[in-house]
Each structure stands twice: as C-alpha cells, then as structure tokens.
Structure 1
Amino acid sequence: MRRTNRLATALATMTLLAATGAALADPIEGRWKMPSGSDATIAPCGGDFCLTYVNGPNKGKTFGRMRATGAGAYEGTVTDYTRGGKEFSGKGKLSGDTLSVSGCVLGGLICRSQSLSRI
C-alpha cells in the first residue's frame, strides 16, 4: 500500500510540474504572421526569446533576440535582412494578439517598425 501512495504522489507531482511549466510560458511565445506574409516563431533561447522565420526567403533565420522587461515590453536586437542582415537595437510591445517590433538607430531617434499578428 505504501508503494502505491508514493507512486500516486510522484505522478501528482509530475502532473503539477508539467501544468506549472505551461502556465509559466511567456505571452510572446508562439507563431506569428509578418506583414510580408511570412510566418515566424518566438521561442525561448537562453534567457531571451528568439524570433525566427518559419517560411519565405529567410526561412530558418533568426531576425530578433529579445528579453522581457515587464508589462508586455521587450528589448534586444533585430536583424533587417532587406538591409544586408544589419542588426539594430530593438524593442517589442505586446498588446493582445499584436506584437509591434521596431529596430532603431541613433539611440532610438530613427526607428522602423512592423506589427506581427498571432496565428
């Protein structure tokens, strides 16, 4: 009987941990539609989140790396492959199912942004 209780406790603990892990997923994670029509995924990589093209001419390339700064805001870098793969300081702001991502130069004086929609 004691072995059955330990097994039940272990299974309950594993189930709780699995559910907790899913609950801890960041809202930015998932699949997104780019304005260009390409799809992208956002997934954890190291302590950050990597933005990677799923299809289109840049399939498999990472075009951003950001970390959460709180209240749906993110900071990091973005890569513009239309400009030869140049990397810029980047920001992201999540609002519902829309993620606005911008790349900036000159300390944020000049920025170029686009909005991604959750798929």
Structure 2
Amino acid sequence: MKAYLYAAVMALTAGMAQADGISGIFQTQANDQGHIGMVEFYDCGGKYCGKLVRSFDKSGNEIASNATGKNIVANMNDNGDNSFSGGTIWDPGADKTYKSKMTLKGNTLSVSGCVTVFCKTQTWRRAQ
C-alpha cells in the first residue's frame, strides 16, 4: 500500500514541478535597440502565455513601453519534455506575430519565432 501512495505522491509532485518549470519571469535577449524585457509566464486556459511586465534600455534604466501588460507569448502547448509549441510570439517593435516554439533547459529558455521555414531564435534567462 505504501508503494502505491508513494508512486501517487511522486506523480503529483512531478506534474507540479513541470507546471512550475515555465512559470516565472524571464529576461529577453536585447533587441536591435539594446532594450530588454521581463516576460512573466502564466497558465492561460491550460496553455502558457507570457506578458511583458518591465522593459529596460541598454544602460539598464527602466523605460516605459506600450507593450507592458500585453502578451508577448501566447497559447503555448506544454509537450511534457520541457518543450512548448503551437503558440505565437509577438514582436512589439515590428508589430508582427510569428509561430513559436520554446525549449527550457534549467534557467535558459530558447525561444524561436518562425515565418514559413525561416526562424529566429533568442535565449532568455530566468530572472525569478
């Protein structure tokens, strides 16, 4: 009986750890102007979304952005192996939305935005 209870607790804990894996705030890679953003991931109806919560200039000073509070990443499916797909990523500077996929390795998130077969990948780092 203890073995079944242990297995059930471990399964629940593993599921919670995986759900928490993408949760939190990630710092984006600098854009062409040298600005970085802080993107907070959260559950959005069984999928994952990431909204811009803060922005900084290349000197590290916080700056205002019209994109603050808006989703940068939307409707990502958790594939169960630290990879996410099926969602989109929005580039507020160009006001364009791309198909996206992400892979989490430790505190590093590889984020790709694609149009047809052309993709651009950025490395985001966990801030919190």
TM tier, smaller: 0.7 to 0.9
Which structure is higher in helix share? 1
Q: How many residues are aligned here?
A: 99
- Structure 1 unaligned spans of 5+: 1-15
Structure 1 residue 24: deviation in Å?
Answer: 6.1
Amino acid at match of 1:104: C
Q: Distance in 2 between matches of 1:73 and 1:24?
A: 11
Distance 1:95 1:82, change over 3 A: same
- With the length of structure 1 as denominator, give the TM-score of the two structures: 0.74
Distance 1:23 1:110, change over 3 A: closer
* Map of 2:70 onto structure 1: 61
Amino acid at match of 2:92: Y
Identity of aligned residues (%): 34
**What SS class does the counterpart of residue 93 from structure 2 fall into?**
helix
Larger Rg: 1
* Map of 1:81 onto structure 2: 92
Determine which of 92, 95, 114 is the counterpart of 2:102.
Answer: 92
**What SS class does the counterpart of residue 25 from structure 1 fall into?**
helix
CA RMSD of aligned residues (A): 2.1
Higher RCO by CA contacts (8 Å cutoff, separation 6 or greater):
2
- With the length of structure 2 as denominator, give the TM-score of the two structures: 0.69
Q: Distance in 2 between matches of 1:82 and 1:69?
A: 29
Q: Distance in 2 between matches of 1:40 and 1:80?
A: 13
Q: Distance in 2 between matches of 1:49 and 1:35?
A: 20
Q: Distance in 1 between matches of 2:100 and 2:19?
A: 22
Q: Distance in 2 between matches of 1:104 and 1:61?
A: 20
- Structure 2 unaligned spans of 5+: 1-8, 31-35, 56-64
